[in-house]
């Protein structure tokens, strides 16, 4: 049996059931749908296997009086509503945070020159830390070279006590690596400071209408 004939048979069956149900005490009939949304049957009660499907209730004249969604559609709409509510809450939270930041910006600075001056002070503080790190790196490098020289000499002379010298070489190499990572972190911090104050400056000018 092809699809069109199947649909005709189902429609005819529903119509027959509907007509037979007209004298019912409550004067109504319920039709239920499959997962694709097609009506697959009508009667006075929904079969157990279609309890979670979409339904529509008809009166004596065959007019739809009430419709229900399938459990799947209802769950999907709840998820969409929850997501919309979450998105709205996120937007409101971001707007409130932006308002707070704008207020703090206007209360902290009175012009762009003050923003630039604060940026320069922050950069100078990081430069001071970088200077100390470079001194530490040079000292660690000198210790590493000395340990390397002593180890090479001991290995060449085939003397004992080589393991402690190897430990010194490894330790000073690790120390140099840690300091170099700290220097890289401070350089990144300087870049972030420049970017942050550039944003402050632009936002300040926008708020002042410049």
What is the per-residue pLDDT across 68-110, written as a single tens digit (0 to 9) for each? 655 566 677 778 888 888 899 999 999 999 999 999 999 999 9
Residue 98 confidence (pLDDT): 93
Instruction: From 176, 194, 189, select the one nearest 134 (Cα to Cα).
Output: 176
Helix/strand/coil percent split, the chain, to 5: 70, 10, 20
33, 23, 25: which is closest to 57 by C-alpha?
33
Q: What is the pTM of this model?
A: 0.58
Task: Give the pLDDT band (50/70/90) at residue 30.
Answer: confident
Q: Is residue 150 classed exposed, middle or buried when 0-12, 13-18 and 19+ CB atoms within 10 A define those classes?
A: middle
Each residue's pLDDT tens digit, 141-173: 999 999 999 999 998 888 777 899 999 999 999
Mean pLDDT of 31-49: 69
- The mean pLDDT of the chain is 81
Which pLDDT score, from 0 to 100, does residue 157 have?
A: 86
């Amino acid at each position: 049996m092809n699809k069109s004939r199947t649909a005709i048979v189902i429609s005819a069956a529903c119509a027959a059931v509907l007509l037979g149900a007209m004298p019912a005490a409550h004067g109504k009939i319920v039709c239920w749908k499959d997962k694709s949304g097609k009506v697959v049957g009508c009667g006075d009660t929904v079969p157990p296997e279609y309890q979670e499907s979409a339904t529509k209730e008809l009166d004596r004249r065959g007019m739809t009086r009430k419709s229900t969604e399938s459990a799947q559609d209802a769950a999907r709409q709840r998820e969409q509503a929850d997501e919309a509510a979450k998105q709205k809450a996120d937007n409101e939270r971001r707007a409130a945070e932006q308002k707070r930041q704008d207020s703090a910006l206007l209360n902290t600075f009175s012009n762009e020159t003050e923003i630039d001056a604060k940026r320069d002070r922050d950069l100078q503080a990081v430069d001071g830390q970088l200077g100390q790190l470079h001194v530490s790196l040079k000292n660690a490098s000198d210790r590493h070279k000395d340990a390397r020289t002593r180890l090479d000499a001991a290995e060449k002379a085939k003397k004992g006590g080589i393991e402690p010298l190897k430990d010194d070489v490894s330790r000073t190499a690790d120390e140099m690596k840690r300091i170099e990572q700290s220097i890289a972190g401070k350089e990144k911090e300087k870049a972030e400071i420049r970017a942050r104050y550039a944003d402050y400056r632009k936002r300040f000018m926008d708020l002042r209408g410049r």
